[in-house]
Each structure stands twice: as structure tokens, then as C-alpha cells.
Structure 1
Amino acid sequence: MIDGRSWPPVAESAASVGRGETTATSLVTTAIDRWAELDEELHAFCTPTPDLALSGAARIDAMVADGRPVGRLAGVPYAVKDLICTKGTRTTSGSVRYRDFVPSEDDIVVERCTGAGALSLGKTNASEFGYSATGTNPLFPTTRNPWDTRLTPGGSSAGSAAAVAAGIVPFALGSDGGGSIRIPAAFTSLVGFKPSMGRVPVYPGCRDPDHPGVSGWESIEHIGPICRTVDDVCTVMGVLAGPDPRDRHTIPAGDVAWHTIVADMHDDPTVVGGLRVAYSEDFGYLAVDPAVRAVVGDAVARLSAALSWNTTRVDPGWDEPGDEFTALIMSETDLVGMRRMVDDIGDQMSAHLVAMLRREWSAEDFTSATMWRKSIVNRMAALMGDHDIVITPTACVPPFEVGIQGPSVIDGRDVADTAWQGFTFVANLTGQPAVSVPVGFTSDGLPIGMQIIGRHLDDATVLRVAAACEQVGVHPMGTPARRDQVA
């Protein structure tokens, strides 16, 4: 199932509302109609808020009629991942424990979207507390991939990606602690951007000590947009980015002109010409589906030829991780509170999460994970000293069937059911900017994404290269159009 309709660029829609050429109410009504038509099959939304969106649209239309200024996202409907707090609207984090939890404050990104005039259509489904790269949790029906509803859209920002891919909303907010924006973007043929650590403030998510499960992942979690095009990503980032004292990691604004990134590429594609590019098809140890290798490899070859890149195949040199990433997550988790939750409702929680929490972690497990992280950060810094960007596949496999954590065999090799996620976690450890862009399809029409990682704080180059993918033609389409185009 693929919906045949798409949205105008986000900036164009907002400008049209501001000029009075289009009403916010008409945009929201379109989104509501698409949600009503499509979401019974997709389960992208877990807490839809159509009435709130309509009342917000009426306020914006009244402001325009009165000649008052409206924001940069005025009237544009969007969706919010259910791990991101929304004042007055329940935020369950995919957990039975938080089935009826209604935050008393918005997350900063929601504050900013609201201030810019965007209108939330509701909360989108996510893995329980984000501890999975698929869209399953014990509370709501499993989110389905619009390209093939038998398959997962990836996660943990599953509903956000499905809502955009199906054309229900033009953009959605996701969070990414190890690939949870980029992986679903790859699985649904979208652009998913994880900015540099500190670009976009995260609060109260990850920082709320009163709510176990909501309070983890502080040093690796990022929030960013999932969109159809790089231009839409840049428009939304112009609203989301900037410091806030409530997030100790945030950095000063002003060094990225988000609104000119794509325009710069249209004016002069050689802005990203001659780059030194490191390309790794498997990090030296990952099992990768042959179709993924072929499609991403072809995209890199075409970009290199078109833009005169100096592209080198590399093996970054770090060892295949074992339990270190899980240990790092657990070291930032409220284990006391979460283990009490397991004692209370463990039979209503995701089995893989319960297993993580019940494991007898040691201090040495946690400190070894920290040392492992430092080693990878140092090796990546050395790699970036010789290269401007690193390119990899986003995921080792195309979308797979719902109901599993991942395939147990890839390219004839027996692997752990999480091994397919092996490309994305690195940029979370280092805090570097990374984006997934669509670069093609398998022979049976399933999307494949390519990951672009840049130097720390060089978000602009990452997005310029992503825009180059659209211009050179390796980005096949911003939004899925008709199923017969990809079958």
C-alpha cells in the first residue's frame, strides 16, 4: 500500500498560508482526511489529535485575516513521536506504565514548532521507550510500512516515518539514540536527519528523573526531522536548532544558514565537488544484503563521478561491538526505577527490554562500555582528519517482516537479530551529524537508504551532500508516489 498523494514543500505551504492564499484549516483538513483513510491499516498514530489541530488552524487563519504575522511553519500539519513530551496530550513512550501519562510541559522541539505555527496531528507510534529499531510495543498495534504493510517501517520512530511516507503529514519529529530517525527513513524512502549533538535541545525527554524510562539515553539521544526532501529538512531545522539552558549539551546558534543550504546547491553544485570521501560498505565486519551493497555502491560511484570526489574504500578499524552499546544505554538508564517497573508489570513489557533490565550489569561492564566509546570516538576522529564525509548504507538489509527484531541470517551468515543496525550507532557515540537519504530499491521495490556522516558540527556539508543526491538523481523520489512506479 502506497498512497498516491504528496505535499508541497513545507516552506511553500507555510508561505501560502501567511499570504492568505491557502488556509491552515484546509491543510489540516487534508491531513485529517488522509489519516482517516490510511491509518487504520498503518497504525502510524497512537494518539491522534485532529480537533486540537483544527482549533489551532482556526487561530492561525484568524491571525492572517487580522493582518498579524504568523510563523515559518504556519498552518503546516506535522506529527510528534510518542517519546517526545506534549503538554496536555498523552505521551506513553509505548509503555503500559505510561498509558495515561499527560506531560505538564512540551518538549522544547514541540514548543518551537508550535511557536512557528506548525499544527500537530498527534503522537506517532514508537518502540517501548525507544529500545528497539522496529515499531512494536505492548500498548498499541504494530506500525506497518506503507511500501508493504507486511513489513516494518523500522524504528524506533516507526509511526513518524510511516505518517510521512504515506502522505498523511509533510514532516514528523523523531528521536535517534542509535539510528531511530535514520533507519525508518531508509525503510520508507525518506530523508531522516540526526543533527550534531547539541544542535537541537532535548528536554524534558532524557532528563526527567521522576519518570523511569523517559530519563535515559542522555549522552546519545538526538531529535530531528523526518521529511520527504532535504529542502523540507532544512526548513524544519531552521525552527528546531538553537541553544536552550535546559539542555546542558546545546551549542550556540548561528553557524548554519539552514534556509540557504539547498539553494546553494542549486546555484553551484560544485559546493560539494572534490570532497574527500570515505566509503565503507560493511565496516569490515558487518553482514550486508547484496542488494544493499549494490544500490549504495552504485550511488557512491555516480556521485563520485558527477562531483569529482576523491573516494576511498575504508575499514574504520574498530572491532565489532558485542554488549558494549547495550551497556552504555543501561548505564544512562534509571535501573532502580526500571527494575521496579519490571517487578510490577514485566509481563506487559517488551521481552527484549525486560531481558536487558534483568541482566546483572557490573560496574566493569559500564566502564568498559565507556572505554569502548572513547576508542570509537578517537578512531572516527582520525578517519575524519583525512576525509570530509563518511558514506555507508543506512541499514544492512531492506525492510523485513513485522514481528521480529531483525533477520537472523544476512547474506548467508548467521547473525544476531540486531546486527542489521550496525551502521548507525557510531554517529550517536561521536555526536556527529548524519542523514539517511533514499538511493534506490531492491528488485522487488523495497526502499534502500544511504547514510552520510560529517565532521562534528559540519551539519551543512552533510545536508549539501544529501541535496546533491537529489540533484544528481540518486535520490529516486522525495515521497513514494504510486506502487506501480516501484514494483
Structure 2
Amino acid sequence: MMVAARAMAATSLASFRKDSRLNPQEYAALSAREIAAGVNAGSLCPIEIAKAALSRLDEVDPQLNAFVYVANDVIQQARKVAEKIASGIPAGPLAGVPVAVKDLISTKDMPTTFGSPLYRDYRPSVDDIAVERLRAAGAVLIGKTNCSEFGYGGFGHNPLFPTTRHPLDPRLTPGGSSAGSAVAVATGICPLALGSDGGGSIRLPASFTGLVGIKASMGRVPLWPGCRDPELPGASSWESIEHIGPLARDTYDAALLLSVIAGPDARDRYSIPCADLDWCAAAEATAPSGLRVAFCADWAGVPVDPEVREVTRAAARSLCARISAEFHEPAAPVIPLEIFRSVVAADTDYLGLRRSAADGMHLSRAVSRMLRQIPTPEQYHLARFGRMQAVLAMTDLMQEFDLLLTPSVACLPFPVDLDSPGSIDGIAIADDAWTPALFPMNLTGQPAASVPAGQSSKGLPIGLQIVGRHLADALVISVAGLVRVNSVERVRVVS
């Protein structure tokens, strides 16, 4: 159920409780749900919440590089929320909640660089649809978060900003491409962040940092301009596989954000109605019993770290036991990585990038590799017909099972200066082959969430992916809601 704004008698801003001030650590443990409820009820002051968020950012971000830009009007945004509350005007379901926005997502009053020198000084004239809706819901936008250049690569490297680092060990990557958004939430700078996911870029960093990350069914959350705007060379890539979604410390908070940003918009031809779905109610619903659940650890011939396999299999069994579900371990559908590579190639704006990139311009390794390629007719054919095959393979599996569970990522976090782990369990792998269970859900558009499954022997988070049939978002969220995240643990930072 969405948090309702409580009408209050008109008062001054001084009417907020004097004990509503929070130190950064107290603030960091609050959920978005608690903040919105407290602000709407007048028991939490949005200005003090905003100050605590900025203090937390100053405390932890210099060593982690989650943010590339901090909004200069954070306190003013919070003051407008406070004025609404004091005037008895509903402030919205995210009243006073600090939210971070990935730097691939357009913001009209903040830079949007896409992590690229091509857009170093770019300020969009319009907000992305999701950002529009966040503002209308009373959220306080803290700033823009670091990402891979144009989203290429499962890490946080780009030529403009220092690389984002893992909060539990700054020598490691937090995963990407929504690296900064994940770290902003994991360290308690904000309880919610927007990420984008064209091949796993929400679910991957959620797994590596111990968060909940959700990619709803394709079209549930509209997206524009971003990858849908042909006037944005380079950014106008990933068009047929991109999703926008939440990173949060618990499933209810993620559902609360989805309840705000989901729903059709005429500017996105993929967008679909959501009248069938109450996101927050789904997060609190009792998951149905008697489900048939498949656990598939091995995808596309990619090895899996033994600890990842052990932890996710145990988590999958435990989850099935809690809802009296049938646990099965069938073979995963055969979906070659080359299909995804071809779809990305077909979606990439090669001409726009080549026309815009000046000679000698420093681009990321991932984007430079893409520009050196010349897509072949065979790749375009595979992008279309191979994708059809992938959709059919997943459809066949999901006809037999209600849910699919997988390791979110095949490995543990690796050194931050690398593009990949290089090898898993002693077996060499390609730089783009360590997330084999994530990209298939972008090809099919199915709903998928990564939730914490447990930890490695060294205390690093391991994620479990929960996948539903097309449009079965409510079931995915209700099962994800069974996983309880200790938010205090998520805000630890190792210097």
C-alpha cells in the first residue's frame, strides 16, 4: 500500500519535532518507507533528512566515488516538501526521501554526462520520465551517480570520473554499470537510487553490494529520452533491451519506488499499463504455496565460483521451503552469449558515436572496443532471429515452472581496475562472460530481481536472482519480499 500523505493543520516549519534531527548514522539506517511516513506525519523534518544525507555523503563518498555530481538545491528541494506538509498539502509517497539518479538518466537541472567526454558539459532540457515522477512524488534528488561509459561493461569505469569502489573493500569493484547508484544505497547515503539495466546493470551491482535490485517486465517503467532519443549519439543505444529500476536495501522500498515510476507514457512505445499491479501490496503479500521452482546455476557454459554455487543453491532451497514450493534443478536454457552481443551491436549507435568522437578523444576500453567493430549482416540476423530463439527457450522453461532462481553473478567481486575476473574456478573466461544468467532476461523482457542470498567466506555479498514469467512482476516481488536485509550491515564501510 502506498504511503498516504496525512493532511495537517497549517503551521509553520518550526512545528516539526525538535528531536527530528538525525546524525548521519541514524539516518543511514532508515528505510525510504520510514522516511516518507515520518515526513508525511510531521515527525521527521525533510530538511534535517536532507542535511543528514549530505553529511553521510561527505563522510563516505570521497573514498568510494559513488557520485559524479551533487545537486546544489538539495536543501531547497527539502524545504519545498516541508512547506507543503506545514500547509496541509499532501507531499507525495516519497515525501522527503533522498534519491540518487544514475548518470545515464536525464535530469534537466543537473549534468547528464553518460560517463563520456562527448557529453562532458551536457545538461538536458527535460527530465527522464522516471525523474519527472520522482519529483512529483516528493523525492529529494541528491545528485547523479557514477556509471560505465554509455553503460558498456559490468563495472564502473569511464574516462571522466574516478572509478566507483566497493564499500566493504575499496580494492574491489561494486559491479556496474549502475555502480554509483548501488554504492550510494549500500553505504546509506540514500535509501533509494535509480539504475538502468540493459544486460544486468541493476541486478549485478545489487548482488555485489548486498542490495535488492529489480528489473520489472519490459515496458512497466517507461523510458525517455535516454536510449530512445536519436538526437543523443551514443546514449541512443540499448534501445530494445534497456530498463530503468530501483536499487534499495529491502524489497518494500524497491516496490515503493516502482509504484511511483511505473505506468505507461506515450513517449515510450514499449510502455504498457500497470493497472493489474499494486507494487507495494505485492511486497507485503504472502507468496503462494505449491509453486514449481527451477534452480539453474550453470548458463552458457560459464563456470560458477564454488562459493557462489553453494550459497545460492542453499538460499534457493530455503526460499522454496518457506513457501512450500517444489524445488527442481533442470538444465538452463541454451542461450549463447553471442546472441546478446549481436543485440547490443544492433542497438549501438555506431554512426553517431563515430561522427561525434574526435580523433584522439579518450574513450573507455569497452566503448573503444565497440567502435573498432564493424557489425556484419550475420550479427544483425542473429540479433533478430537468435533473440527469437532465446525467447522461445525461456518460454519453454517457464511453461513448466512458475519461478526461475539463479546465481545473480557467476563470481565474487574482483579487483576494481579490471574489466572482468579473468577466470572463474580456475577456468579462463571472456571479459563479458561472467554474468551469463542476467542478460537472457533483457532479451526476453521478463521480470527479474536480485536479492541477497548470503556471504562468501570473506564476507562479500552474494546475490540470488528471482525470475518470473512475462508480466508476473507481483509474484517476483512477493517472493523477493521474503528476503529480509539488515540495513545496518549494508552501511558498513571499510577504509
Report if TM-score (shorter chain) is over 0.5.
yes
Larger mean CA deviation between 456-465 and 312-321 belongs to 312-321
- 2:260 counterpart of 1:239: yes
Q: Work out which of the residue numbers 167, 190, 193 in structure 1 matches 2:211.
A: 190
Shift of 1:67: 1.4
Larger mean CA deviation between 56-65 and 431-440 belongs to 56-65
Contact 2:115/2:146 (CA < 8 Å) preserved in 1? yes
Aligned length: 470
The aligned residue for residue 307 of structure 1 is 323
- 2:415 counterpart of 1:401: yes
SS of alignment partner, residue 348 of structure 1: coil
**Paired AA for residue 33 in structure 2:** A
**Paired AA for residue 439 in structure 1:** A
The aligned residue for residue 486 of structure 2 is 477
The aligned residue for residue 23 of structure 1 is 45
Identity %: 47
Shift of 1:259: 2.1
Contact 2:98/2:190 (CA < 8 Å) preserved in 1? yes
The aligned residue for residue 341 of structure 2 is 326
Contact 2:405/2:466 (CA < 8 Å) preserved in 1? yes
**CA displacement 1:112-148 (0-9 Å, x = unmatched):** 0000000111000000000011011000000011111
Change (3 A) 1:346 1:449: farther
Change (3 A) 1:482 1:215: closer
Q: TM-score, normalised by structure 1?
A: 0.94
Q: Work out which of the residue numbers 456, 459, 462 in structure 1 matches 2:476.
A: 462
Shift of 1:258: 1.3
SS of alignment partner, residue 245 of structure 2: strand
SS of alignment partner, residue 489 of structure 2: coil
**CA displacement 1:144-189 (0-9 Å, x = unmatched):** 1111111111000000000000110011000000000000000000
Shift of 1:479: 5.1
Shift of 1:326: 2.2
Change (3 A) 1:107 1:481: closer
**CA displacement 1:377-413 (0-9 Å, x = unmatched):** 0010111101101000000011111111111111121
Shift of 1:281: 0.8
The aligned residue for residue 277 of structure 2 is 256
Contact 1:42/1:144 (CA < 8 Å) preserved in 2? yes
Alignment of 1:337-486 (within 5 A): 337-342=352-357, 344-345=358-359, 347-470=361-484, 477-478=486-487, 480-481=489-490
SS of alignment partner, residue 469 of structure 1: coil
Alignment of 1:7-22 (within 5 A): 7-22=29-44
Alignment of 1:32-181 (within 5 A): 32-49=54-71, 51-181=72-202
**CA displacement 1:37-63 (0-9 Å, x = unmatched):** 1110010000111x3111011111111
SS of alignment partner, residue 144 of structure 2: strand
**CA displacement 1:256-303 (0-9 Å, x = unmatched):** 1112123323xxxxx332111111011262210000000001111212
For 2:297 and 2:113, locate their aligned partners in 1 and report how far apart those are by CA, in whole Å: 37
For 1:482 and 1:382, locate their aligned partners in 2 and report how far apart those are by CA, in whole Å: 41
**Paired AA for residue 192 in structure 2:** F
Larger mean CA deviation between 120-129 and 303-312 belongs to 303-312
Shift of 1:469: 2.7
**Paired AA for residue 251 in structure 1:** I
For 1:482 and 1:17, locate their aligned partners in 2 and report how far apart those are by CA, in whole Å: 22
Unpaired runs of 5+ in structure 1? 266-270, 471-475
- 2:306 counterpart of 1:297: no
For 1:180 and 1:297, locate their aligned partners in 2 and report how far apart those are by CA, in whole Å: 23
**CA displacement 1:167-212 (0-9 Å, x = unmatched):** 1001100000000000000000000000000100000011111111
Change (3 A) 1:479 1:367: farther
**Paired AA for residue 411 in structure 1:** D
SS of alignment partner, residue 101 of structure 1: coil
Unpaired runs of 5+ in structure 2? 1-23
The aligned residue for residue 14 of structure 2 is none
SS of alignment partner, residue 198 of structure 1: coil
For 1:105 and 1:337, locate their aligned partners in 2 and report how far apart those are by CA, in whole Å: 21
For 2:361 and 2:272, locate their aligned partners in 1 and report how far apart those are by CA, in whole Å: 41
For 1:192 and 1:359, locate their aligned partners in 2 and report how far apart those are by CA, in whole Å: 32
SS of alignment partner, residue 420 of structure 1: coil
Contact 2:333/2:397 (CA < 8 Å) preserved in 1? no
Shift of 1:481: 4.7
Q: TM-score, normalised by structure 2?
A: 0.92
For 2:491 and 2:87, locate their aligned partners in 1 and report how far apart those are by CA, in whole Å: 40
Contact 1:147/1:483 (CA < 8 Å) preserved in 2? yes
**Paired AA for residue 477 in structure 1:** N
Contact 1:107/1:203 (CA < 8 Å) preserved in 2? yes
Change (3 A) 1:235 1:386: same
Contact 2:109/2:124 (CA < 8 Å) preserved in 1? yes
Contact 1:339/1:358 (CA < 8 Å) preserved in 2? no
